[in-house]
Amino acid sequence: MRILRAGITLLIALFVIGGCRNKAELDANGIPGKLMIAVYAGGDNPAAVKSAIQPMGDYFGKKLGIPVEFDFTTDYTSAIEAIRAKKVHIAYLSPFSYVLASQAHDITPIVTLGEGGKHTMYHSVIFTNVKTGTNSMNDVKAKAKSLTLCFSDPASTSGHLIPKAYLRTIGLDPDVAFKQTIFAGSHAASVLSVASGKIDIGCSTSEYGLELLEGKGLVKKEQIKVLWQSDPIVSSPIVARNDLNKELVKKIQGLYINMAKDNPPLFRAYVSLYHTNAEKLSYMTVQDSMYNGIRKIASGIKDLSIVK
């Protein structure tokens, strides 16, 4: 089975079956009885994500005057399904999963991370285990039929969309060019699969994947060789449904923007799971147009299109 078709078929199915069931209800003014927030908690330590995020429920609840509950997902596809099916009001998405979810024009990005007034950027990387003897992308092209490849999550920007598009520009169609192509499930799983020798070539993000696992001592830097790195990618957005009360959205946006200043421990508990410089970061506003570059890349790959 072609791995990409399988992944996109899953996305289509989720959009179709989401429908209108299990909605996070809103009153006539767009106010929920309980604010539901979808948060990706995959990767190598989902328990740490949940532990860091849960206290935000009490913090937001007291500030907003309504209860807050988190819906933890193990992949971005599930987060897309949750907000498109109106099971949640707010969602933490990757840039690519935001582009996918925004095709119906019913969500808006409200914040992303930044430093010193500039939005945080990260990079996609293609890498290998040094034991493979693969030293360049030319080597990958020459040996592709004998190499295994893994992406991270189907809706990942740096772990799927960007490296897939790049591979095609150098004449490698991941569906047919490699011995085997799979989805590892997360950035951490992609890196660990290559580090352990189970997979030859991996795709992930430098900052949230390789560097993070190296910093935690789960992977040794000398085990991995980076073969290619992308141009900078705008950091992941937190998004809100457009039918949510506008004043409530502004309050939620303000709570995120001021969190690093008003409650540093709460802010750093979550952000430090993905960034080694959390003390320098804060949330800031972000515009939909900042993800047009991702849209352009996605639109250039016909079999990445999904039902609107």
Query: What is the predicted pLDDT for the residue at 16?
Result: 43
> How confident is the model over 174-186, as pLDDT tens digits?
999 999 999 998 8
What integer pLDDT is reported at residue 302 of this predicted model?
A: 60
The pLDDT of 2-22, averaged and rounded, is: 45
Q: What is the pLDDT of residue 305?
A: 40
Is it the case that residue 248 has pLDDT exceeding 60?
yes
Q: What is the pLDDT of residue 49?
A: 94
Q: Nearest 5°: phi and psi at 121?
A: -115, 160
> How many residues does the structure list for the chain?
308
Judged against a pLDDT cut of 60, whether residue 1 lies above it is answered with: no
* pLDDT of amino acid 23: 60
- Rounded Cα distance between 153 and 167, Å, is 17
**At residue 43, does pLDDT exceed 80?**
no
On the question of pLDDT at 13 being above 80, the answer is no
Q: Which amino acid is at 293?
A: G
What are the two backbone dihedrals, phi and then psi, of residue 49, each rounded to the nearest 5 degrees? -60, -50
If DSSP codes are grouped into helix, strand and coil, which group holds residue 194? helix
User: What is the per-residue pLDDT across 129-156, written as a single tens digit (0 to 9) for each?
Assistant: 999 999 999 999 999 999 999 999 888 8
228 or 25, which is more confident: 228
pLDDT class for 304, splitting at 50, 70, 90? low
Structure tokens, 132: 């493979």
Q: Minimal CA–CA distance to 202: which of 176, 227, 169?
A: 227
pLDDT at 256: 98
Residue 64: is its pLDDT beyond 80? yes
- 209 pLDDT band (50/70/90 cuts)? confident
- pLDDT mean across residues, the chain: 89
Give the residues across from 121 on adjacent strands.
234
pLDDT band of 303, cuts 50, 70, 90: low
Of residues 210 and 65, the one with the higher pLDDT is 65
DSSP H/E element including 189: helix 187-195
Kindly state the average pLDDT of the residues 285-301: 89
How far is Cα 214 from Cα 218, in angstroms, rounded to an integer? Answer: 6
First-to-last alpha carbon distance for the chain, in angstroms, is 24
Q: What is the pLDDT of residue 74?
A: 87
Residues 6+ apart with CB under 8 A from 73: 38, 39, 40, 41, 42, 79, 82
* Per-residue pLDDT, 300: 73
Give the mean model confidence (pLDDT) for residues 5-26.
52
In the predicted model, is pLDDT for residue 2 greater than 50?
Answer: no
* The pLDDT of residue 198 is above 60: yes
Average pLDDT over residues 155-159: 88
pLDDT tens digit string along 223-243? 999 999 998 999 999 999 999
Per-residue pLDDT tens digits for 78-106: 999 999 999 999 999 999 889 989 988 89
Lowest mean pLDDT, pick from 10-14, 46-50, 184-188: 10-14
CA distances from 289 to 89, 98, 99, 189, 293 (A): 21, 12, 10, 31, 8
The residue behind tokens 């072609």 is: 2
